[in-house]
Chains A and B, each alone.
Chain A
Amino acid sequence: MSIFNKLLLSAAVVAGLATSPVQAEDKRIALVVKALGIGFFEAANKGAQEAAKELGDVEIIYTGPTDTTAEGQIDVINALIAQKVDAIAISANDRDALVPALKKAMDRGITVISWDSGVAPEGRAMHLNPSSNALIGNMIVKMAADHLPDGGDVAVLSASATATNQNIWIEEMNKVKDNYKGINVVATVYGDDLADKSYREAQGLMSSHPNLKAIIAPTSVGIVAAAQAVSDAGKAGEINVTGLGLPSEMAGHVDSAASKSFAIWNPIDLGYAATMIAYNLATEKAAAEAGGEIPMGRMGNVKLDDNKEGAMADPFVYDASNVNDFKDIF
């Protein structure tokens, strides 16, 4: 696998070297994702392409490993350094493991930013959160509470136990859950973003907590699997599956009443904003400083905090009233 990857990458490097003189004028921005073939990132790529079109002199290199590993991303980063791209915008599989490779990129004058899933501050110029973690943490428990006026037991089905962003959201959720009367978080389980394991964990939640009223899954694979498990158990309408998911993947489960509502930021906007920021930093039209602002085209400006992190926008809630309008978009 890794030999195959390396072959592909060296082929990409050769291709990159061969074409670079022709496009010397264009800024080449690499959008590095957690893994290829994930709907969310494919949509982010659409946004990046939109930004490139708007800017005119930008070429997007959409790339990533074939599985969600830090090792795979390091190989990709090294190949991009060899290609001498102008900027790397990465959604990281590991907060710390990528730092040395990204530092090397920055030493060679490449602008590095992280988006979606962050890198430690020393490995990037800035980080773009899709939304503020506090807003997401609040949103996922609010969506569960909205349909439980009398309160009840809810459980969390996350991705892997080490997933950076899921853990932060759950932490933020736990800070504010007491604001919702009667909401009782009984368990947090991990489906590792595998359909079969998430399905089994959801079944496990239903059997070990007979009074369960809602499952909060802040991960797109988990929420789909949990909704399917709830429908199969004949508990659609009884247990509400909510969390973060894509409209295209959740439309069927909203129809079956297994999920009353779910949220997501718009990944198209996210890819668009990340590209705009990378472009503005690479062309030195803006600087990444604590307390400073960086323009993101139609998305407005992002304000950076002391860790040079900024939030793009509020998460958007989808339910039976609007999911069908978005299911063909992403």
Chain B
Amino acid sequence: MNMQRLMKSRELLLALALVLLVGGIAVRFPAFASPSSLGNVFNDTSILIILALGQMVVIITKCIDLSVASNLALTGMIVAIINASAPGIPVAFLIVIAISAGALMGAINGFFVWKLEIPPIVVTLGTLTIFRGIVFLLTDGAWINAHEMSASFKALPRADFVGLPVLSWIAIAIIGVMAVLMTRTAFGRATYAVGGNPHASVYTGINVGFTRFAAFIISGSLAGLCGYLWVARYAVAYVDIAGGFELDVVAACVIGGISIAGGIGSVAGAVMGALFLGVIKNALPVINISPFWQLAISGAAIIIAVALNARAERTKGRVILKKAEVV
């Protein structure tokens, strides 16, 4: 109970920080806080939100998936190549391909973690390089450019639906699905148990390996979906797309209060962590500061958030010890 209250207050803190951040930026550049500008920020952050939600499930099970950005680049390239060579194939079918390809890559990660018990950081560090290497092999370094993609392929993410682009709606839908999955299903509870105490969860009949395998598949399929969204949004596919983006995704989770040690975290946290980074990324260009400071500011925000999280986790430990002493 105590822990839950702490988590709730952390999300409240994050929401407050987000409001303060937007407020602070609005002082320097008032147009930033207008609804349409905030809508743009949300839309721009949609891909980061979706990836952070996938990463969240993996991190909660005490694993990490560093291959998400490479997975995104590879699935993005696969659908771009299919679209360029056969423009007649409907976009809906391409999205199914993207999700399946992503899920397959997630399953490869999950398989090594589950059956061969290799540490997830090692497995996904390997697949990070392998997936991006495959993009290079597929294309020999060539780009797939705007004029080679079909109009409907590029149009979907930016199509307007009840005032918001479809890209934003996809993110909202996934936030909803993930919230239900994590809080209302046996699988969701199993992920917390597996991450919180893997040994104890074995005795409660939870298959630890399989739960992690499933978490990697979720992360992989979401990365696959983002592969299509990214390539369609920026209307270009090449080897380096989203290079280093996995670090943003992990950073969003960490800022959102998802414990790298597993077992702690929430959908709201991941979403707000991603939005926090998204607001900084979108605000820095308009408030007109040196690009060297931009890097320092992004880095400082991450360290401050991690420091706060570390403090919060330590307090939690103390509380439990005190109780034990009292008893």
Contact = CB atoms under 8 A, between A and B. Distances in A.
Interface of A: 1, 4, 35-39, 42, 66-67, 160-161, 187, 189-190, 192, 194-197, 199-201, 203-205, 207-208, 224-225, 228, 232, 248-253, 255-256, 327
A224 B236 contact: yes
B234 interface: yes
Contacts of A201: 285
B90 interface: no
A58 B150 CA distance: 42
Given A204-B282, A205-B285, A208-B288, A228 B141 contact: no
A208 B285 CA distance: 9
Given A35-B240, A36-B239, A225-B234, 9 more contacts: A36-B136, A37-B239, A66-B136, A195-B234, A195-B241, A197-B281, A208-B286, A224-B236, A251-B147
23 contacts: A36-B141, A36-B239, A37-B139, A37-B240, A38-B238, A42-B141, A161-B291, A161-B292, A187-B288, A190-B291, A192-B291, A194-B243, A204-B285, A207-B31, A207-B32, A208-B286, A224-B146, A224-B234, A248-B145, A249-B236, A252-B145, A252-B149, A256-B146
A208 B245 CA distance: 26
B37 interface: yes
Nearest to A197: B281
B141 A67 contact: no
Interface in B94-109: none
A200 B32 CA distance: 13
A252 B288 contact: no
Overall SS of chain B's interface = helix
Contacts of B288: 187, 208
Contacts of A208: 29, 285-286, 288
Contacts of B158: 232
A42 B142 contact: yes
Contacts, number: 99
Contacts of B242: 196
B129 interface: yes
Given A190-B291, A203-B285, A327 B147 contact: yes
A39 B142 contact: yes
A101 to B, nearest CB: 24
Contact of B129 (A1, A199, A251): A1
Contacts of A67: 240, 243
A139 B242 CA distance: 31
A190 B286 CA distance: 12
Contacts of A36: 136, 141, 239
B313 interface: no
Closest 8 CB pairs of A and B: A204-B285, A252-B146, A252-B147, A37-B141, A37-B239, A251-B147, A190-B291, A161-B291
A65 B31 CA distance: 42
A37 B145 contact: no
Contacts of A1: 129
Nearest to A324: B147
Contacts of A327: 145, 147
A249 B286 CA distance: 27
A207 B234 contact: no
Overall SS of chain A's interface = helix
Given A195-B234, A205-B285, A207-B286, A248 B29 contact: no
Contacts of B290: 161
Given A36-B141, A39-B141, A228 B285 contact: no
Nearest to B145: A249
Contacts of A189: 285, 291
B71 to A, nearest CB: 16
B279 to A, nearest CB: 12
A4 B236 CA distance: 28
A15 B148 CA distance: 38
B234 to A, nearest CB: 5
Nearest to A202: B285
Contact of A200 (B44, B145, B148): B44
Contacts of B112: none
A195 B238 CA distance: 10
A42 B236 CA distance: 17
A121 B245 CA distance: 36
B204 to A, nearest CB: 40
Contacts of A195: 234, 236, 241
A249 B234 contact: no
Interface in B110-132: 129, 132
Contacts of A39: 141-143, 238
Given A1-B129, A38-B141, A207-B37, A199 B285 contact: no
Interface string B236-278: 1011111101000000000000000000000000000000000
A236 to B, nearest CB: 12
Contacts of A66: 132, 136
A252 B282 contact: no
Contacts of B238: 37-39
Contacts of A251: 145-147
B207 interface: no
A180 to B, nearest CB: 24
Nearest to B237: A195
B201 interface: no
A200 B282 contact: yes
B92 to A, nearest CB: 22
A255 B148 CA distance: 12
Contacts of B146: 224, 228, 249, 251-253, 256
Contacts of A252: 145-149, 235
B40 interface: yes
Contacts of B147: 248, 251-252, 255, 327
A205 B290 CA distance: 14
A36 B284 CA distance: 30
A200 to B, nearest CB: 6
A160 B158 CA distance: 28
Nearest to A208: B286
